[in-house]
Amino acid sequence: MSKSTINILNSTVRNPGITSNDFVMIAFFQLSVFNHKNKYTHDINSDEVRRSTGLSDKVINKVFLNLYNQGYLLNEIGKRSPHKPITVCLNERKFNIKIRKEDEFFTEMPILLFNIMKNKLITPPEFRFLYYIQSYINNTNRKFCFCKEETIANELGISKPTVIKLHRSLEKKKLLDVTQHKLEHHDQYDQNDKYDFKKFNNHYVVRHENFERLYKKSSK
């Protein structure tokens, strides 16, 4: 991670075993590691966790438990006391991109996007969705992602209608462009047993240039 970005391994971005709330906490942990000079065991403030993630205490408890079960947290965090620090022991293999496997990639997004989510301009599912789309654009010469909606749903652990709802919401906020493209000759037959030459996939483009505009608009 740099001073201006939060970098998350693609294996985490596309992990259907974690929720969007879990993902927000992982992004928060990445910021916390940076602020603690790359120490993966450190104390965090309960109030700051709530303020930064926007999650309730009940949800935070569920998140901590799932991140422990998924191997992101090495210590199980039990009952928390208000205003007292929490010691977290993070699994460096899950967070440190410098020790990732040779064939493993990561997704880089500006801290500004986290702040946009923190200010409730986008939801945790939308925050993760943008990371997901960007994960299929990074390390390529393309400026768009063309994943099937079924693939997105499976890799994010959500339903196809939720995928559609998310990209439509992000389109309205001008943080995502979605266009439909036709592919030819995909060797399938329609319901009338006629050969169908058409297949449509969405092309997704993350509108990075609008992040700052949205953030500034909320600050006025």
Tens of each residue's pLDDT in the chain, 220 residues: 556 999 999 999 999 999 999 999 999 999 999 999 999 999 999 889 999 999 999 999 999 999 999 999 999 998 777 778 999 999 999 999 999 888 889 999 999 999 999 999 999 999 999 999 999 987 667 788 888 899 999 999 999 999 999 999 999 999 999 987 655 544 444 444 454 445 567 889 999 999 999 888 766 6
What is the C-alpha separation between 149 and 162, in angstroms, rounded? Answer: 10
d(Cα 38, Cα 205) in Å, to the nearest integer?
Answer: 32
Return the structure tokens found at 173: 């906020």
CB atoms closer than 10 angstroms to residue 39: 12
> What is the three-class DSSP state of 134?
helix
Q: Identity (one letter) of the amino acid at 175?
A: L
Where exactly are the structural domains of the chain?
A: 5-219
The correct answer on CATH 1.20.1740.10 for the domain covering 5-219 is no
3-state secondary structure of 193: coil
- Which of 217, 141, 130, 220 lies closest to 177, judged by CA? 130
At position 46, the amino acid (one-letter code) is: S
